[in-house]
Each structure stands twice: as structure tokens, then as C-alpha cells.
Amino acid sequence: MESFIFAFFVIYTGILFLVTWLTSRKATNETYFTGNRRSPWFVVAYGMIGASLSGVTFMSVPGDVANTQFTYFAVVLGYILGYFAIAFILLPLYYKLNLVSIYQFLGTRFDPVAQKSGSMLFIISRMVGSALRMYLVIYVLQFFIFDAWGIPIWATAVFMILIIFLYTFKAGIKTVVWTDLLQTTFLLAAMVLTIYLIHKEGSWGFSDAFALMKSEGHTKIFDTDWKSHTHYLKQILGGMFITITMTGLDQDMMQKNLTCKNLKDAQKNMLTFSGILVVVNAFFLYLGGLLLIYAQNKGIDLSQLIATGQTDKIFPTIALQHLGLGAAALFVIGLISAGYSSADGTFAAITTSFCFDILDMKRWSKGEAHETRIRRWTHFGMSLVFLAIIIVFSQFHNDSLIRILFKIAGYTYGPILGLFVFGMYSKRKIKRPYYVPIVSIISPTIIYFLAKMAPIWIGYQFGFELILMNGALTLLLLYLGSYKPEVNQVNS
């Protein structure tokens, strides 16, 4: 089985590099950073599906149905509100200022320290989050395939990251936009064909399968327990602000949008993408329900995985061990597609943010050749850091630690939200330049402490609304450390 699946992987990678070759001819630095602003909006919209669904999502959304039923769909409904906010509030701002890195807005509105603070929050969060997501993809492939060949996990990690490095090195975001198109296609094909195979195995029609899910209690969408972290209002509100922060204020996701020709195309892309994403997530939840009733029908014991919180292993366990060779190949290709589409954009986005926000490359540039050297060395360096995080973490794999690190990485988006809201809707100025990085550390620390203690103090579990609270606290602290400038200063 391992050889058959690996053959699929080789063919897939070959197609990936063909796309890379086609998109990287005559590539310049402008191509790498902005795609020459010529990306068709519908290609960006479709490709962003794969970018938003990481390998973790590919496994965890279906698996989470075992514990939270379909309540994740309330988060998805919140996504729609968030994408509308991005399309009609943030995108007009980014296009008006003709930004390459979205954190350049913070430099224009406040000062270079604020710009670097926003950029570093993004770089740390995205680097850690994407590296861990890619690690989990590598871990699953290692466990089910490469261990049988005696290949160590560090070698698997080097191999996978080298592939991403090579196909993003020359044309950056332009290549990512088009490879995401390919990866999204494979990802969705894997999902749809897996659903088909399970229907065929169980001899179920859609209505039969859904009726079984409902009878087993897997289809609840709206949780009305206000103390629960899956309460529907928390989910909807959280989904909205997750989208605004982790898409609208995230260089990785927005860099793809900024490759569109103009604002109108970028808005069409965003709204189209939001509609497709709702449908795709609905199918992933449906797949989760199918996996559970299939396991019950075939006598597959999932109780150990559910009891130990390892529901993200339900999909790989059934696909790789119980559905046959075709399903196994589909799962692996879908998983790799999700992992690649999440990580490749990170390489381009972090390189862009580091060059423009941290190094301020344009200010001391000596020409195109000099900028190319800076960009290539930055890309190489970030790839090494990305790889190092994966290899270090592979030495002491711990599921609970993974969840903690994901949460910590997520906390960094709260200060970015507060900074952008304060910058867009207030004319006040910060009193001290280094006040912003201090607030960016204090705010998430306080929120993290509150989230840990709230269940003990009042029996309340915070959900996705933590991002909103984090942003609000950052906003308050920024206000307390700011002043209202004179009228002539405001107008200048």
C-alpha cells in the first residue's frame, strides 16, 4: 500500500512543479511579492479554499463531530459576516494605500515601531502555527507510511519542506496562487470521493445517511448552553472575528487578495470565496457524521480515540485502514494538498513581511539585484526556521502541548485587531513609540490568564470570543497610552 500511495504523491508533486515552471518564467521581485497584481479573481477565490483548510482542519473538522456534533457550522456562519467586513472595510483601505505588506498601514498611521510590532506578531504566530500544522501532516504520513520504510521523521520533514521551498523560491505569491488552485482541486476531490466511497460501502443514500446521523445525535448545529464554549452566539461572533483577524489582518491570506487587478476584483473574490467555504465546511461536517455511522456499522471501535481527545485521528484511521487502497490514496493526497496550500503561502507572506516591515528593504535598497538577494536569503532563512520548529517538536511529540501552542499562537491576533481598529477609527496618537510592543505582550497574557481561571471562578468556558476580548483589551490599553493631537497635527 505504501508504494502505491507514494507513486500518487510523486505524480502529484510532478504536476505541482509543472505549474511552478509555468508561473515562474520571467519572475521578478514584483512577481514574488504581488504577483504583478494580475491574478484572476476567481482563481484566487477558489485557491483560497485550500489555503484556509489546513491539514489540521482536513482531519479535525470531521473528527470533532464526535464531540461537538455540527456546532462548528455556527462558526462558519460567523465567517460570512467576517468576510463581508473584510471586503467592504479592510480591502478598500489596503488598495487605497497600495500596500504590499498590510502592516505598512501601522507604520503610516503610527510609527515604524508599531509596524514592526504588528509584523512580528504575525510572523511569530504564522510561523509557529503553520509549522505545527505542517508537522501534524508529516506526523500522520510518517505514522501510516514512512515508518514502514524505516525513514526517520526528520528526513520526511526535510523532504517535504524542501519541496515547498523549491516551488515558492522564484515566483513567490504568483506561484502560490496557481498551486493553490491545483491543491484545492485535489483536496475537494479527496473529500467528495471519500464521501462517495462511504456511501457505496454502507449502501446509503444521502437521506438515509443523514437520518442515521440524526438518530445518533450527531447533527446538532445550535448549542444553547451559554456556559458552553460551543454556544451558538459565541460561535457566530467568534467566527466573525476569527475571519477578520486571521484572514483580514493576516499577511498570508491578504497577500493573495492583493494580487488581484483592482479592488472590485478583490471584493468579488472575497465574497465568492466566502460562499464556497460555507458549502465546503458543510460537506466536511457531513463527512464527519458519515465516518461515525460507518464505524458503528462496521464495528470499528473509536471509543479510545474519542475518550483521549484524539478525534483528529478518526478520519485517517478509517481512510487508511478500513476503506481500501483508493480511499487511502485519496486521503494522503488530500492531506498533502491541505498541508502544502497552508504552508506555501506562509513562506511567501513571512518573507514579504520581513523584507518590507522588519528590514524596510525599499528604504536602503541598491536596486533590483540587491533586493533579490535580500528576498532570497530571507526566504531561505525562514524556511530553515520553519523546518527547525518541525524537527524540534518531532523530538517530543505531545498532543496536549500541540493544542496549547496553537492557542498561544492564536492569542497574537488579538493585539493586531486592536491596533488596526484603533488606527482606523481614532485620530489619537501613541505617547511613546515602544508602548505598542508592551501592550502587544500584556494584553494576550491577561486574556490567557482569564481564560484559564474563568472555568474555576465562575464555571464559564471561553470559546472563540477570546479574540474579541483580546482585541478590546488592546484597544483600551492603546487608548490609555495615547493622546489627542492638536487640530493642525490631525490635518497634517
Q: pLDDT tens for residues 9-27?
A: 888 889 999 999 999 988 9
- For the cut 80, the answer to whether the pLDDT of residue 230 exceeds it is no
Report the share of the chain in percent with pLDDT over 90. 48
At residue 38, does pLDDT exceed 60?
yes
Half-sphere exposure of 311 (CA within 13 A, CB side): 19
pLDDT at 403: 58
Amino acid 50: pLDDT: 83
Using alpha carbons, list the distances in angstroms from residue 29 to 83, 98, 121, 193, 281. Answer: 29, 16, 24, 39, 35
pLDDT, mean of residues 416-443: 92
Class of residue 13 by CB neighbours under 10 A (exposed 0-12, middle 13-18, buried 19+): middle
Q: Examine the pLDDT at 167 and tell me if it is beyond 60.
A: yes
438-481 per-position pLDDT tens digit: 999 999 999 888 888 888 888 777 766 788 888 999 999 999 99
All structural domains of the chain, each given as residue ranges with its CATH number in brackets, are 2-399 (1.20.1730.10)
Residue 232 scores a pLDDT above 90: no
Contact 183, 340 (CB under 8 A): yes
Range with the largest mean pLDDT of 2-11, 89-98, 191-200: 89-98
Determine contact, residues 130/386, Cβ cutoff 8 Å: yes
Given the DSSP bridges, would you call strands 429-430 and 482-483 parallel, antiparallel or unpaired? antiparallel
For the segment 407-426, the average pLDDT, to the nearest whole number, is: 86
| Helix 435-457 and helix 466-480, axial crossing angle in degrees, nearest 10 | 140
Question: What would the mean pLDDT of 267-286 be, rounded to a whole number?
Answer: 93
How does residue 261 score in pLDDT terms, banded at 50, 70 and 90?
Answer: very high
Q: Report pLDDT for 1.
A: 64
Which of the four pLDDT bands, split at 50, 70 and 90, describes residue 137?
confident
Q: Are 260 and 42 in contact (CB under 8 A)?
A: no
**CA nearest 301: which of 66, 458, 106, 91?**
66
Confidence at residue 202, expressed as pLDDT on a 0 to 100 scale: 84
Mean pLDDT of 339-348: 88
Confidence of residue 405 (pLDDT cuts 50, 70, 90): low
Of 94, 466, 61, residue with least CA distance to 249 = 94
**Mean pLDDT in residue range 117-124:** 93
User: In the predicted model, what is the mean pLDDT of residues 143-171?
Assistant: 90
The one-letter code for the residue type at 456 is: I
- pLDDT average, residue stretch 316-340: 85
Q: What is the pLDDT of residue 173?
A: 93
Average pLDDT, the chain: 88
